[in-house]
């Protein structure tokens, strides 16, 4: 199985700060994803990456950017955090098999004040 | 934009009963379908996937797919309190099938 590790479980930031959310997977696999999860809105795809330096926008990319400099690391960046970006952020990696299974990290709970 | 619809619930069933969770999807071209379970405070984990019309069984879980009706369901037999969780239906977001689009989830509560 793919093990996905998110560096911060809880973060509190102020409006306008630049925020980095880090995610590392322990398998040599191309596909990684960032979702956010909010009550009543479910899991929404922000960005995903299918290879180093490659990225694709998901459904809600506005206000976010990503970085994939190494295959095992996929970072989500909030250039100027806003209160509506307070959320649970989930990173996922795709398993090697053809089931399409995503393996999720434990999540990063971000609060923007 | 692809959509996945689920009844948010909560769905309440007594222990030992069959729980039926339903999902509809908008893209008739979707080829594969996934059910994830998410316990409160935890991350989602895959419990079932299905590609073909009909039923797929895995232990107490059965996934049912009807592509003509664009409908996929998850049946949980002999429901246990440990099955209490939110169940998320998902379909591929793109042709390559790399990313998934999730429904908002159905919360299941199994009472002992």
User: Averaged over A79-105, what is the pLDDT?
Assistant: 88
Mean pLDDT score of chain A: 92
Chain B residues whose CB is inside 8 A of the A44 CB are 102
pLDDT at A2: 67
User: Averaged over B63-88, what is the pLDDT?
Assistant: 95
CA dist., res. A40 & res. A53, Å (int):
33
CA dist., res. B40 & res. B105, Å (int):
12
Which of B18, B21, B1 has its CA nearest to residue B10? B21
Percent of chain A with pLDDT over 70: 94
B19 in contact with A, Cβ within 8 Å: no
B49 in contact with A, Cβ within 8 Å: yes
- Answer whether B46 sits within 8 Å of A50, measured CB to CB: no
Q: pLDDT tens digits for A30-77?
A: 789 999 999 989 999 999 998 888 899 999 999 999 999 999 999 999
Buried b vs exposed e over B26-59: b needs ≥16 C-beta within 10 Å? eeeebebbbbbbbeeeebbebbbbbeeeeeeeee
Q: Which two tokens stand for residue A46?
A: 């922000």
CA dist., res. B53 & res. B50, Å (int):
8
CA dist., res. B46 & res. B10, Å (int):
20
Whole-number Cα distances in Å, A100 to A31, A53, A84, A97, B66: 10, 22, 31, 7, 20
Distance from CA of B35 to the nearest CA of A (A): 10
Answer whether residue A110 shows pLDDT above 80. yes
Residue A79 binned pLDDT confidence (cut-offs 50, 70, 90): very high
Q: pLDDT tens digits for B28-45?
A: 888 889 999 999 999 999
Residue B97 binned pLDDT confidence (cut-offs 50, 70, 90): low
- Answer whether A42 sits within 8 Å of B101, measured CB to CB: no
Distance from CA of B32 to the nearest CA of A (A): 9
Answer whether residue A97 shows pLDDT above 70. no
Asked whether the bond before B10 is cis by omega within 30 degrees of 0, the reply is yes
pLDDT at B98: 75
């Amino acid at each position: 199985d793919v093990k996905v590790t998110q560096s911060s479980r809880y973060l509190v930031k102020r409006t306008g700060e630049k925020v980095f959310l880090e995610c590392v997977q322990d398998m040599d696999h191309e596909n990684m994803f960032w979702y956010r999860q909010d009550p009543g809105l479910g899991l929404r795809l922000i960005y995903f990456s299918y290879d180093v330096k490659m990225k694709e926008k998901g459904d809600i990319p506005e206000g976010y950017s990503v970085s994939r400099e190494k295959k095992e690391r996929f970072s989500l960046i909030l250039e100027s955090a806003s209160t509506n970006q307070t959320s649970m952020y989930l990173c996922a990696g795709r398993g090697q098999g053809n089931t399409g299974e995503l393996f999720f990290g434990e999540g990063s709970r971000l609060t923007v004040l | 934009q692809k959509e996945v619809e689920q009844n948010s619930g909560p769905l309440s069933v007594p222990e030992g009963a069959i729980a039926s969770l339903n999902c509809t999807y908008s893209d008739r071209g979707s080829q594969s379908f996934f059910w994830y379970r998410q316990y409160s405070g935890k991350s989602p984990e895959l419990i079932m996937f299905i590609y073909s019309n009909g039923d797929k069984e895995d232990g107490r879980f059965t996934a049912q797919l009807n592509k003509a009706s664009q409908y996929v369901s998850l049946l949980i037999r002999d429901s246990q309190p440990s099955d209490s969780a939110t169940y998320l239906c998902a379909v591929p977001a793109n042709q390559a099938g790399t990313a998934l689009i999730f429904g908002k989830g159905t919360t299941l509560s199994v009472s002992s």
